[in-house]
Structure 1
Amino acid sequence: MKAAVVTSFTEPLTVEERAVPDPGPGQVLVRIEASGLCHTDIHAAHGDWPVKPTPPFVPGHEGVGIVEAVGDGVRHRAVGDRVALPWLGHACGHCDHCVSGWETLCEEQQNTGYSIDGSFAEYAVADADYAVPVPDGVSPRDAAPLTCAGVTTYKAVKVAGVRPAERVAIFGVGGLGHLALQYARLVGGTVIAVDVEDAKLEMATDLGADHVVNARTEDPVAAIEALGGADVAVVLAVIPQVFEQALASLRRGGRLVCVGLPPETEGPMALPIFPTVLKGISVIGSIVGTRQDLAEVFELHARGRTRVVAETRRLDDVNAAIDDVLQARTTARIVFEP
């Protein structure tokens, strides 16, 4: 099979031939139909984070495809099922986080495309328990970005506790942000989209954003304050300064939801103590979503409540696609179709 492989953190990915893997006990073999390119895949390929994957490995955690074989003991997935392979590739299932509905905090978790080979390939094996069914009416092309960009921002809006008519500022309107603004609107939020690219702000307007702010040409803090301040700010960018701007844009009682993960070299975010305390600001970290969250994301999309903006590429073009994401030459998501 063809696979895009990280062999070194300082070299481009290599597209090579590998043997089709066999599913082990409790696993399924999935023929990949589509796989989204997430910024996390780029961080993985470059070794940007403190806990690094071990080359060689296959990135990709927005994989969608058809089950072609099942390992021993698999009873709830069958050949022919369409499933998604999300970031949470495995969790222990018995720690206090797992049993209380926070499996994404499990300390024994394995992550697709990071600690286990992912979906930048024609085939992938996955833990059958964590391969999430994709319902009829959701195409592989749409399901792929929903598997991470969708469930991550859906969870962020959930944990923010957005209430109807609250102002929600989305900082970074790309692959994740274009979905975040839709989820914020679904729960009744008034959405302010913030980005530095006019094309992305035009997309945000088309998707229903109530206000747009170009942070390249105007001060986003002043612009949001002029609207009354944000009740919630969801940060999807990977620059610490943007987190600081988002915090400063909040009105009293506001909630800052941190989602984007900057490279280790970017340094920390400054958290001013006095305004945080005196304004009663909450700072919330939100990391992807559970299998149940993803099932809800798929259900909403199947009902026509969300729209995925994506362009398709060939897996052979993986390095050019990564460069396009890093140079902001894409409006939303790139999806590889092997």
Structure 2
Amino acid sequence: MSFTIPRTQKAAIVSTAGAKIQIKTDHPVKTQAELAPGECLVKLECTGVCHTDLHAAIGDWPLAASTPLIGGHEGVGVIVAIGSNTNHSPVKLGDRVGIKWLADSCLNCEHCRKGREQNCPDAKLSGFTVDGTFSQYVVSFVNHVTPIPEGFDSNAAASILCAGVTTYRAVKYSNTSAGDWIVLPGAGGGLGHLAVQYAKTRNLRVIAIDTGAAKKELCLSLGAEAWIDFKECKDVVKEIKAITGGEGAHAAIVTATTGAGYQQAVSYLRAGGTLMAVGLPGSATLDTSIFFCVFKSINIHGSYVGNRQDAVEALDIAARGDVKCHFELKSLADLESTYEGMHNGTVAGRIVLDMTK
């Protein structure tokens, strides 16, 4: 099997942090001969857009992205080339695969051996430290691309590769059992609406927190048992306790990218409850009562994306129809307006870009 690889491609590039996005049509494509052992070239069909991409582009995180930057880390496409002298590759030419935030890791350090590949000190991050998926062709790594289940639509699969696996892992490690209450601040957003569904696959009772009629409709249609509009509710903590019979929720997964979603969590969690910290505000701090964290035996767990196995499991659940990403399909030219919608909090669900045009 062989593929014709063009010399140039279309790509969205940010020259420096905060600079305007430039769509270039003459960005070079690596040839097979230029690929290192272990690398593969993927011709993309589509890519999701994540709030992390916005943070990387504007540079408001404590960690700075490499620039010039091609962002994106939720790509689905076909492998069209593999580097020479790649041994024991788990994928082959023609395979449809997904590219995630974690582009590569050493697989041999303590973190990798314990299944925390995302914490590897030598990790490469798609669209942050290496070129990402806002381009028609992307160089990735054979040991970290994820096979897409046969019959699973590429556009539907794209956002599972980050938003899906991130929320799936958070639910998985939230110390909850069937019938427990779980609170999801930011429930109507790209991560949050998937968290609602992954929580429902584990028979959890979901309290969705967000704002706006569109997000309310989405969350309730996905199975949230209760809805709280944080702009209209005068006392979120009191409301959650009332919904849960007075004791509070068993867990909270905060996917919101502001500090406010974190600050209330310890107050509305019941004794022994777990706060899963997922959303990544650029400068906010976790300001809460140490006394009540200890007194209530509260668990606070930072949950950062997921490992390779988490990705396989999250995709499998979605491919079987138990989780569905609600997305709007756009083009690469719409990336800047998509960022504006994310910044203003007006995007319900997820945006996926068609990379074939």
Whether 1:262 aligns to 2:281 is: yes
> Corresponding residue for 1:193?
208
1:1-34, Cα deviation, whole Å (9 max, x unpaired)? 0000111212221111201123322111111111
Aligned residue among 157, 172, 179 for 2:186: 172
Specify the alignment match of 1:96 in structure 2. 110
Whole-Å separation in 1 of the counterparts to 2:128 and 2:184: 27
Q: Distance in 2 between matches of 1:97 and 1:144?
A: 26
Amino acid at match of 1:7: S
Establish whether residue 253 from structure 1 lines up as the match of residue 268 from structure 2.
no
* AA aligned opposite 2:261: V
Contact 1:254 1:281 survives alignment (8 Å): yes
Indicate the SS of the match to 1:130.
coil
Query: Residue 233 of structure 1 contacts residue 247 of structure 1 at CA under 8 Å; is this kept in 2?
Result: no
**Aligned-partner SS, 1:129:** coil
1:283 matched residue in structure 2: 300
What residue is the counterpart of 1:58 in the other structure? 70
Question: What residue is the counterpart of 1:293 in the other structure?
Answer: 310
Provide the C-alpha distance between the structure 2 equivalents of 1:315 and 1:167, rounded to a whole number of angstroms. Answer: 39
Deviations 1:69-106 (CA, angstroms, capped at 9, x unpaired): 11113432222110000011111111111111111121
Identify the residue that residue 220 of structure 2 maps to in structure 1. Answer: 205
Alpha-carbon distance in 1 for matches of 2:39, 2:175: 36
Q: CA deviation at 1:243?
A: 0.4
CA distance in structure 1 between the partners assigned to 2:341 and 2:67 by the alignment: 23
**Does 2:51 correspond to 1:32?**
no
Match of 2:14 among 6, 26, 31: 6
What one-letter code is carried by the residue in structure 2 that aligns with 1:210?
A: E
User: Number of aligned pairs?
Assistant: 336
Task: Render the CA deviation track for 1:269-318: whole Å, top value 9, x for unaligned.
Answer: 20211111111111110000111111111111121111110001110121
Displacement of 1:57: 1.5
For 2:230, give the aligned amino acid.
Answer: A
Report which stretch shifted further, 141-150 or 242-251.
242-251
Aligned residues of 2:16 and 2:69 also touching (Cα < 8 A)? no
Aligned partners of 1:241 and 1:269 also within 8 Å: no
Matched, 1:232 2:251: yes
What residue in structure 2 maps to residue 135 of structure 1?
149
1:86-134, CA deviations, whole angstroms, 9 ceiling, x for partnerless residues? 0111111111111111111211111011000000011101011111100
1:159 alignment partner in structure 2: 173
2:98 to 84, 88, 111: 84
Secondary structure of residue in 2 paired with 1:288: coil
Q: Secondary structure at the match of 1:18?
A: strand
Task: Tell me the percent identity.
Answer: 38
Query: 2:66 touches 2:130 (CA, 8 Å); kept in 1?
Result: no
Query: Aligned partners of 1:272, 1:288: CA distance in 2, in Å?
Result: 27
Residues 1:120 and 2:134 are matched in the alignment = yes
Distance 1:8 1:105 in 2: 26
- Provide the residue aligned with 1:68 in structure 2: 80
Higher mean C-alpha displacement, 4-13 vs 112-121: 4-13
| Equivalent in the alignment of 1:324 | 341
Give the whole-Å Cα distance in 1 for the aligned partners of 2:115 and 2:157: 23
CA–CA distance in structure 1, aligned partners of residues 346 and 277 of structure 2: 24
Supply the RMSD in Å over aligned alpha carbons.
1.1
The separation in 1 between residues aligned to 2:179 and 2:90, in whole angstroms, is 41
Question: SS at the partner of 1:108?
Answer: coil
Deviations 1:213-259 (A, max 9, x none): 11110022111011221100100011112101122211111111100
For 2:280 and 2:315, locate their aligned partners in 1 and report how far apart those are by CA, in whole Å.
25
